[in-house]
Each structure stands twice: as structure tokens, then as C-alpha cells.
């Protein structure tokens, strides 16, 4: 397996009354069985397209040429899209983006998932249209943010490049339905790629929405899917829920909510390259489970940084959280501290140590301290962080979320509550138009 899933410190046997009792845990695992059986059936029938993604190849054939083209011609690639049309791509891009410019020979990716006019103005000012590619992603084809962004960008790019060239710079990704984005693409001759109608935004990271940016950034889409397939295969073939890590995770999260009122789920990778993973997880978990008055609140942290920000609360505040630490094997990584430089007695613990040693020690110490203080903590132990591991982690959390929804008795798909706000925002916009000519 691409990761080791260590959950013993979520249980009362190990950490005392802050943990889940053996009885509740056993009941939770039992309750996962029908969910796993349903997943297996959906997989075999092909009725849940998410489960078919790991082994698809035909779609990659459709968008890989676009990625290769964008990669070869552009210095900047802008992705218009928000929520599930952005967070998956951001998560994958973080594997290569260290904040100091893109790797040689690859464009810089800009995920414009907000409509702040200040940020957008800075973007437009920074871009050189001739060296810029744009991808506009909206599953429904009707999301206000990417449509507004595209509508503002189009006349600028047309003025700079000419209408005939727009299709070489702008691609849209949307469902194969007649929708506003598709109509706009047809009017301006923009090529379009298909967003699978059966894969909701927050479950779409392993589809074109995540993999197209990933390919442009030079990542291996096949390896991402292969890692996901390993986790899926294991879950579908597991003899019992206990041997399916996503089921174990769901049983613990829901069990802690019901038995211990643990209503918050903190994800805390000790890896900068997983910092965006937390944002992706937060959408996945919140939108899938936050329904009918239930659900737990996902919170993202990053280790070791947030030891200096959140750990006080985690250790000494209310007992309302479970923790998922992601620990990469980084002991020995990075340059070592010269022993002569650290000859100060107060720095003895740093002599000959590397930053990797320090990060490793801090991650383990935090896990241990949380457990000692009776706070449920599980570990994802990673020997490496590459596409395979990333794909595996993504699939782990998607399956865990679907199973947890089953245990909570809510529908993991759809986000009915946000509709009211959308309608109201459109009403406010219409009212504004009175005062503008």
C-alpha cells in the first residue's frame, strides 16, 4: 500500500475515554459492510462513475494533447473555476510548485477561484496573451465566477490576438449539455473537453478537472490513477471493513461523533506539498456530509507550523476534535547543521541534525503528545510523496467520505443548501442593474 494507516490512537483502549470504545468501533465497522457492498455493486455496474475513473484511459487520450500543447506554447496557464473545479488541480499542482516559479520548461499555473477585482486586475496586468493559455472549468456550464472571468478576459484576448486565434488559447471543460459556457465556446470557436456528468466537482480530481492541470505541470496522470486504483481495489476486495482503510476511517470519525461528540476533523500534513490537500479535503468532507443538521467540520492545519498556532487549543481546549496527521519519512532529508556551528549547549539537540530530522521529530512528538493527552489521532505514514501516493490518498478520502455519508444517513452527493444563496446573489445583481446604464 502506498501509505500506512495507523488508527490505534483513536481508540479508548489506547488513549482512554477521549477515544472510541471497542463496542462502538466494532458496531461502526459492522455498519460499513453494507456501504462497502454497495460500492462494490456500483463499481461492477458502472453506476458510480467515480469508481471507474482509476482505470479509464480513453479520457486521458482526449485531453493529453491539449496539455502537451499548452505546456509547449505557454509561459502562464490560467484556470478559471471554483470549488471542485479548482481545488483538485491546486492539490496536484502543489506537488511541483514550491512558490519559486515553475520547474524549467513548464508554464506557471494560476488557479483563479475567486472574483476579487483586485486580484483579477493584477492577473490581467501580469499576463501576456500571446504566451498565455486559459482553461475555464464549470461542470454545469453556469457557474457565475468562471463565466464572469471569461467574459471579461475574452474581449482583451480578442483585441490582442484576433478572434481566429482565441481557440488556440482558451479551452472550456463542461458537461456535454447545452449550457451557457458551451454556447459561449461555440460562438468564439473555443475547443471544449467533456466533464463527466456523473462525477461531481468535489469528486473530480482524478478526472479532466484535476488531471489536465496536472499534465500541464508535468505530472504523471497514469500514476495518479494507479495509486487510486490500489486503494479502491483493496476496499472493494476487503474481506471485512477492518481491512479497508477508508472504512476504518469512516467508522472512527462517525463513531467519535456519535459517542464522544467529536464534531471536528483536523487534517494536518507535516509536508508543505500537502498543504493544498487540506483545502481539497475540507470541501469534500464539508459538502458531502454537512446535511440535515449533521456532519463534522473539517479543519486544515499544516505541521510543524501550526504547532505554533493551533496546538495549544488542540491539546488543552475542548475534546471535540479528531486528528489525521500525515507524516512523510523525511528523517535525514536536507542539509545537516554543522556540529561546530551548534556548539552552544542550548543548541545541542540540533547538532548534526537536518531539517528533515527536525520535521520528523516534531511530527512524531505531536502525534505522541496528542495521544498522551487523550486526543484521538490517526497517522498516514508515507515513505515517499509522488503521484502514486497522492492518488492513493485522494481515493482514500473520497471513499472514506462516501462511506461516512452512508453511516450518517445522508446523501454524499449534491449540495442543496447553497442554492438559496445563489438565487439571492442573482437577485442582488439584478437590482444593481437599475442604477447602471
Task: Give the nearer residue to its own copies in terms of CB position, either 40 or 108.
Answer: 108
Stretch of 18-26, 49-57, 99-107, 128-136 contacting its own copies, by CB under 8 A: 99-107
Quick one: DSSP state of residue 20? Answer: B
Q: How far is the CB of 44 from its own copies (least distance, A)?
A: 30
On the 0-12 / 13-18 / 19+ scale of CB atoms within 10 A, 36 is buried
CB neighbour list of residue 420: distance below 8 Å, 6 or more residues apart: none
CA-to-CA distance for 233 and 260, rounded, in angstroms?
32
Among the listed residues 99, 104, 162, 164, the single contact to its own copies using CB under 8 A: 99
Q: Is 263 in the site for its own copies (CB under 8 A)?
A: yes
Q: How far is the CB of 372 from its own copies (least distance, A)?
A: 7
Q: Which residues does residue 297 pair with via DSSP β-bridges, in sequence order? A: 264
What size, in residues, is the chain?
437
Among the listed residues 272, 374, 381, 413, the single contact to its own copies using CB under 8 A: 272
3-state secondary structure (DSSP) of residue 134: strand
Task: Give the nearer residue to its own copies in terms of CB position, either 84 or 245.
Answer: 84
Among the listed residues 100, 105, 164, 239, the single contact to its own copies using CB under 8 A: 100
CA-to-CA distance for 399 and 378, rounded, in angstroms?
17
What the block records as the C-alpha cell of 147 is 463565466
Tell me the number of residues near its own copies by CB under 8 A.
130
Catalytic status, residue 396: no
What the block records as the C-alpha cell of 223 is 500514476
Please name the residue that has the C-alpha cell 488531471: 211
3-state secondary structure (DSSP) of residue 116: coil
Of residues 167 through 226, those in contact with its own copies by CB under 8 A are 179-180, 183-184, 201-202
Q: Is 279 in the site for its own copies (CB under 8 A)?
A: yes
Q: Is 116 in the site for its own copies (CB under 8 A)?
A: yes
Instruction: Determine the number of helices (DSSP H) and then strands (DSSP E) in the chain.
Output: 16, 10
Please name the residue that has the C-alpha cell 499555473: 109
Q: How far is the CB of 147 from its own copies (least distance, A)?
A: 7
The side-by-side arrangement of strands in the sheet containing 321-328 is: 4-6, 377-382, 321-328, 264-269, 297-300
Q: Is 287 in the site for its own copies (CB under 8 A)?
A: yes
Q: Is 62 in the site for its own copies (CB under 8 A)?
A: no
Among the listed residues 185, 219, 302, 326, the single contact to its own copies using CB under 8 A: 302
Task: Give the nearer residue to its own copies in terms of CB position, either 14 or 362.
Answer: 362
Q: Is 342 in the site for its own copies (CB under 8 A)?
A: yes
Catalytic status, residue 287: yes
Of residues 373 through 392, those in contact with its own copies by CB under 8 A are 373
Q: How far is the CB of 90 from its own copies (least distance, A)?
A: 11
Of residues 316 through 335, those in contact with its own copies by CB under 8 A are 316-321, 330-335
Closest CA to 365 of 330, 325, 402: 325
Q: How far is the CB of 420 from its own copies (least distance, A)?
A: 5
Of residues 35 through 54, those in contact with its own copies by CB under 8 A are none
Q: How far is the CB of 392 from its own copies (least distance, A)?
A: 19
Among the listed residues 60, 115, 161, 223, the single contact to its own copies using CB under 8 A: 115
CB 10 within 8 A of CB 375: no
Closest CA to 219 of 422, 39, 8, 60: 60
Please name the residue that has the C-alpha cell 460500492: 39
Of residues 134 through 153, those in contact with its own copies by CB under 8 A are 142-145, 147-149, 151-152
Among the listed residues 295, 377, 396, 399, the single contact to its own copies using CB under 8 A: 295
Q: How far is the CB of 316 from its own copies (least distance, A)?
A: 4
Among the listed residues 264, 374, 381, 386, the single contact to its own copies using CB under 8 A: 264
CA-to-CA distance for 147 and 80, rounded, in angstroms?
8
CA-to-CA distance for 123 and 133, rounded, in angstroms?
13
Please name the residue that has the C-alpha cell 500500500: 1
> Parallel, antiparallel, or unpaired: how do β-strands 132-137 and 321-328 relate?
unpaired
Quick one: DSSP state of residue 136? Answer: E
Q: Report DSSP letters for 222-268, one per residue.
A: HHHHHHHHHHHHHHHH-SSGGG-HHHHHHHHHHHHHHHH---EEEEE
Catalytic residue among 17, 45, 61, 308: 308
Q: Is 416 in the site for its own copies (CB under 8 A)?
A: yes
Catalytic residue among 145, 175, 230, 287: 287
Q: Is 155 in the site for its own copies (CB under 8 A)?
A: yes
Stretch of 29-37, 209-217, 220-228, 341-349 contacting its own copies, by CB under 8 A: 341-349
Helix (H) or strand (E) holding 389: helix 387-408
Stretch of 2-10, 14-22, 35-43, 367-375 contacting its own copies, by CB under 8 A: 367-375
- Give the active site residues: 287, 308, 422
Amino acid at each position: 500500500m502506498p501509505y500506512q494507516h495507523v488508527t490505534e490512537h483513536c481508540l479508548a483502549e489506547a488513549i482512554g475515554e477521549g477515544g472510541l470504545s471497542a463496542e462502538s468501533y466494532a458496531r461502526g465497522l459492522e455498519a460499513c459492510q453494507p456501504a462497502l457492498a454497495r460500492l462494490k455493486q456500483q463499481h461492477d455496474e458502472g453506476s458510480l462513475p467515480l469508481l471507474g475513473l482509476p482505470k479509464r484511459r480513453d479520457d486521458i487520450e482526449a485531453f493529453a494533447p491539449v496539455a502537451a500543447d499548452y505546456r509547449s506554447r505557454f509561459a502562464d496557464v490560467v484556470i478559471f473555476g471554483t470549488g471542485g473545479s479548482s481545488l483538485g488541480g491546486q492539490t496536484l499542482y502543489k506537488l511541483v510548485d514550491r512558490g519559486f516559479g515553475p520547474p524549467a520548461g513548464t508554464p506557471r499555473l494560476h488557479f483563479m477561484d475567486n472574483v476579487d477585482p483586485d486580484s483579477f486586475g493584477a492577473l490581467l496586468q501580469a499576463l501576456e496573451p500571446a504566451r498565455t493559455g486559459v482553461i475555464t472549468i464549470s461542470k454545469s456550464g453556469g457557474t457565475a465566477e468562471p463565466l464572469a472571468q471569461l467574459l471579461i478576459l475574452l474581449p482583451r484576448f480578442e483585441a490582442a490576438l484576433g478572434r481566429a486565434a482565441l481557440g488556440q488559447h482558451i479551452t472550456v471543460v463542461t458537461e456535454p449539455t447545452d449550457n451557457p459556457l458551451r454556447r459561449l465556446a461555440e460562438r468564439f470557436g473555443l475547443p471544449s473537453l467533456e466533464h463527466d456528468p456523473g462525477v461531481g466537482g468535489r469528486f473530480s480530481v482524478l478526472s479532466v478537472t484535476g488531471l489536465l492541470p496536472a499534465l500541464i505541470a508535468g505530472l504523471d496522470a497514469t500514476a495518479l490513477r494507479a495509486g487510486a486504483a490500489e486503494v479502491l481495489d483493496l476496499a472493494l476486495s476487503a474481506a471485512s471493513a477492518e481491512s479497508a482503510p477508508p472504512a476504518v476511517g469512516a467508522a472512527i470519525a462517525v463513531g467519535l461523533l456519535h459517542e464522544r461528540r467529536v464534531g471536528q476533523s483536523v487534517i494536518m500534513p507535516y509536508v508543505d506539498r500537502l498543504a493544498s490537500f487540506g483545502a481539497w479535503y475540507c470541501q469534500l468532507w464539508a459538502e458531502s456530509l454537512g446535511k440535515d443538521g449533521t456532519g463534522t467540520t473539517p479543519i486544515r492545519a499544516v505541521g510543524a507550523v501550526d504547532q505554533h498556532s493551533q496546538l495549544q487549543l488542540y491539546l488543552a481546549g475542548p475534546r471535540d476534535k479528531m486528528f489525521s496527521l500525515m507524516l512523510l519519512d523525511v528523517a535525514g532529508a536536507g542539509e545537516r547543521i554543522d556540529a561546530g556551528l551548534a556548539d552552544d549547549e542550548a543548541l545541542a539537540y540540533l547538532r548534526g541534525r537536518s531539517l528533515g530530522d527536525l520535521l520528523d521529530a516534531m511530527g512524531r512528538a505531536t502525534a505522541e503528545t496528542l495521544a498522551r493527552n487523550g486526543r484521538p489521532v490517526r497517522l498516514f505514514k508515507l515513505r515517499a510523496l509522488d503521484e502514486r501516493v497522492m492518488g492513493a490518498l485522494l481515493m482514500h478520502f473520497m471513499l472514506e467520505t462516501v462511506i461516512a455519508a452512508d453511516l450518517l444517513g445522508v446523501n454524499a452527493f449534491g449540495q442543496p443548501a447553497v442554492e438559496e444563496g445563489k438565487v439571492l446573489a442573482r437577485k442582488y445583481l439584478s437590482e444593481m442593474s437599475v442604477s447602471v446604464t
